[in-house]
Structure 1
Amino acid sequence: MECFQRDYTLIVYREHITDNPTFHQMNHFNVKNKTLMDYLVMSQESGRPDHAAGKKCYIKEIDSQYSTLKRQKKCAVIGNSGILLESKCGSIIDSYDLVIRANMAPVRGYESDVGNKTDLMLVNDEMLGNLDTVLSSGPQTEREREIWRTLTSLNNTILWYPKDTSKHTTLLQNIAKALKKKKLHVQVAFSLKDIYSDVKWKYNLWRYPSSGLYMLAVAEAVCQSTAIFGFYPYEKDDFGKKVLRHYYEKNLTNFKTWAHNFDAEYHMLMSRRDEGLIDMITNPCVPKS
């Protein structure tokens, strides 16, 4: 593994979540009177940290609680569009080295279309609140029960919050402690820095990036090749068949939102596909009989 990248590094609790988990991002780390930013710039310029000549740099050299997400060969980023229904892409998705999903999207009952493997699960601000409620008070609504089923089905999955951790430090700590108390097979991770601005400018978008773009940005940083499934922001497919906004929510059909420009994102993704930067799968993986 090479010296970790400054912008898209994920740091993960290595073995066990501590009793008092911390979620300090770049500006809060200190290494021998240097900030982590200084450390990383120094490492990039010299190829190695000055206190460990001849060694590759790892986050565990700074804080033994953590490890960095390892580089991967082939990664699959799974969006939540209803275009996945009847796609029969499940076995292909599960064949990838790293599978990234978002916001506790369920796989039980959808395995043949979306697969079963989940290595990295992004959670946004809304889902953080949902997880805290489910873990502290128990699931009450059908969606909360679905979140709980998904959470308990995860196996050595990394739960990842990509944004500014200072906004939700207590919430993240509560979730981490509850996961440990309930002995769920989930690790907790956060980005070394809030990558909002990096994602926004990387993909040249003026609205808020969707969760899918955060997943893609990390995949492109740590994976040799990336394929995306379930990214489709339209109400009908190429054959005029109705497409659900989320494959697991039968009544959610409204694709419009003030926060994201899904049409612009989709066209950007097609451009990256045409340039050979990503594989983009929107058709069924197995032809329908």
Structure 2
Amino acid sequence: MRRYLLFIILSCIFLYFVLHCILWRENISWLRVIEMKRSPVLTCSSKPAFESLLSYRGLYPFMCTSDLKTIATLHESDKIALPYGLKRSVHHAHLALSKLQSCELFPESDKTPCKKCIVVGNGAVLKNKTLGKQIDCYDVIIRINDGPVRGYEEDVGTRTTFRIFYPESVFTDPADNDPDSVAILAVFKSHDLKWLWEVLAGMIPEVDHFWKKPALNLIYKPEKIRILHPIITRIAAFNMLHFPTTFPKTEKPKHPTTGIIAITLAFYICHEVHLAGFKYNFTDKNGPLHYYGNTTMSMMSKSEYHNITAEQIFLKNITEKKFVINLTED
């Protein structure tokens, strides 16, 4: 009789646990959802030079809580799993968004419709070019990963409008924080969204699902963090780099670098786009890769997740067609 009762009790506990997990995963009603303010997309009377590259019109680049599912359905992101869609990851997106306070693109005070933007890459070509003052003059300055400003102001400038990052590449030193810049998480897996939620909730995030240890803390305040909609990365992969939608099982899928994602973002929020720091010397494997640090060019050639050749062809193409102006192109 005791064994029978024990079996019933254990079965009830197991059933409760299973139902709890299902409801927790599927129901987001318990989240503290903030109605995020979406910036109006200001239109420019003249067409940009890269008009032919734009496959969508009026595309909003950041995830917002109120219309997350609607936008996912509109762009068919609900049919594609991460990194380029939100299939099976909407719940994790809502978790992360519940800790943020805004999905605003630009402040309400910013009324400039035709923005001149620069995407600053991390290439060693920036060294000793003294482009800092020129870079600081742009309306929008987009930087990549943990490319530092502090200590390199003469070459790369001081201002940052947006900085695109992923969990393994975000600044953790408070000395690198710029209170005026917005940090944008580029999502490649559901664990990236879960990581953001855990960090902002004051928890110790799981680190087993990352290619290197992610940041355990953030120097950015929640109101200065955005989540890039996967459609931007999808456009970068399929429309800009023309990657195949499927790869052979024997080959690892290739994804756009953060730099190409940043350029794609710029095409959808700017009227004129300039580049700096996107030229690399592939003939010198021992030469510097970045304008900072000691990483050499050999690291780029070893990348299994990026198609550097395709990216160089894309950059050459948009420069030759004058879709962009490259400040560090000889």
Q: Same fold (TM over 0.5)?
A: yes
TM category (shorter chain) comes to 0.5 to 0.7
Hey, which of these two has a bigger chunk of strand by percent?
1
Q: Secondary structure at the match of 1:282?
A: coil
Match of 1:223 among 264, 267, 270: 270
Contact 2:288–2:294 (Cα < 8 Å) also in 1: yes
The alpha-carbon distance between structure 1 residues 105 and 148, as it changes in their structure 2 partners (threshold 3 A), is farther
Percent identity for Structure 1 against Structure 2: 22
Q: Secondary structure at the match of 1:212?
A: helix
* More displaced stretch, 248-257 vs 220-229: 248-257
Note the C-alpha offset of 1:243: 4.5
Match of 2:294 among 235, 238, 250: 250
Distance (whole Å) between structure 2 residues aligned to residue 261 and residue 230 of structure 1: 18
Give the match for residue 162 of structure 1. Answer: 186
Which runs of no fewer than 5 residues in structure 1 stay unpaired?
Answer: 13-22, 30-34, 42-62, 135-146, 285-289
Contact 2:118–2:275 (Cα < 8 Å) also in 1: yes
Q: Secondary structure at the match of 1:122?
A: strand
Contact 2:288–2:297 (Cα < 8 Å) also in 1: yes
Match of 1:109 among 135, 146, 151: 151
The alpha-carbon distance between structure 1 residues 6 and 36, as it changes in their structure 2 partners (threshold 3 A), is farther
Distance (whole Å) between structure 2 residues aligned to residue 171 and residue 103 of structure 1: 17
Q: Secondary structure at the match of 1:68?
A: coil
Distance (whole Å) between structure 2 residues aligned to residue 181 and residue 212 of structure 1: 22
- TM-score, normalised with respect to structure 1: 0.65
Contact 2:187–2:193 (Cα < 8 Å) also in 1: no
Give the match for residue 278 of structure 1. Answer: 324
Give the match for residue 69 of structure 1. Answer: 105
Contact 1:235–1:244 (Cα < 8 Å) also in 2: no
Give the match for residue 61 of structure 2. Answer: 10
CA offsets 1:120-174 (integer angstroms, 9 cap, x no match) = 011124225xx5xx4xxxxxxxxxxxx5432x3x122111012256332231123
- TM-score, normalised with respect to structure 2: 0.58
- AA of the residue aligned to 1:231: F
Q: Secondary structure at the match of 1:202?
A: helix
Distance (whole Å) between structure 2 residues aligned to residue 167 and residue 105 of structure 1: 23
CA RMSD after TM alignment = 3.7
Contact 2:184–2:226 (Cα < 8 Å) also in 1: yes
Note the C-alpha offset of 1:7: 8.3
Distance (whole Å) between structure 1 residues aligned to residue 258 and residue 290 of structure 2: 13
State the number of aligned residues: 226
Which runs of no fewer than 5 residues in structure 2 stay unpaired?
Answer: 1-39, 44-55, 77-97, 107-112, 203-215, 244-253
Give the match for residue 202 of structure 1. Answer: 239
Q: Secondary structure at the match of 2:226?
A: strand
